């Protein structure tokens, strides 16, 4: 059975101070802060940190980030790798450093990692929870762990 982990990223300004968060229920979560980042980097870092923390077993990542979800559902990564880390317009893939970390955790880990999109700010209690944690981290300049 797969564990379900919600993730989210937040940024105050883009770029600006940012926060990331992941949670498996309200009692098991983590969040962190970066003083100068982008929203997309925080979305990626939330997933990376979740998969680092939950390092065994199958995992379903639930995110409101189309950037993260579409990379896996639409297999953007296959084109990036085939083109030598260039996007479909021939430009270098943004945030390659984080994508490489995420691919190692999600594609090369020997376990099944799946991704599901959830609409943000739509009343999903766990999405709202990780959004609040990521926003708190961005605003306060600190993270939390349970």
Q: Which residues are catalytic?
A: 8-9, 43, 64, 121, 131
For residues 16 and 39, is the Cβ–Cβ distance under 8 A?
no
Residue 27: partners with Cβ closer than 8 Å, 6 or more residues away: 146
**Exposed / middle / buried, residue 35 (Cβ in 10 Å: 0-12, 13-18, 19+):** exposed
């Amino acid at each position: 059975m797969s564990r379900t982990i919600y993730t989210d990223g937040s940024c105050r300004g883009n770029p600006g101070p940012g926060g990331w968060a992941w949670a498996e229920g309200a009692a098991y979560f983590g969040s962190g802060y970066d003083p100068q980042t982008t929203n997309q980097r925080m979305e990626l870092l939330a997933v990376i940190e979740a998969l680092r923390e939950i390092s065994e077993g199958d995992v379903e990542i639930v995110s409101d980030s189309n950037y993260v979800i579409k990379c896996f559902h639409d297999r953007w990564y296959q084109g990036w790798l085939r083109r030598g880390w260039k996007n479909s317009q021939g430009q270098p893939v943004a945030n390659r450093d984080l994508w490489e970390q995420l691919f190692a955790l999600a594609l090369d880990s020997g376990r099944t990692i799946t991704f599901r999109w959830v609409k943000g700010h739509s009343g999903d209690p766990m999405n709202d929870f990780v959004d609040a944690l990521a926003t708190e981290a961005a605003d306060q300049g600190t993270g939390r762990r349970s």
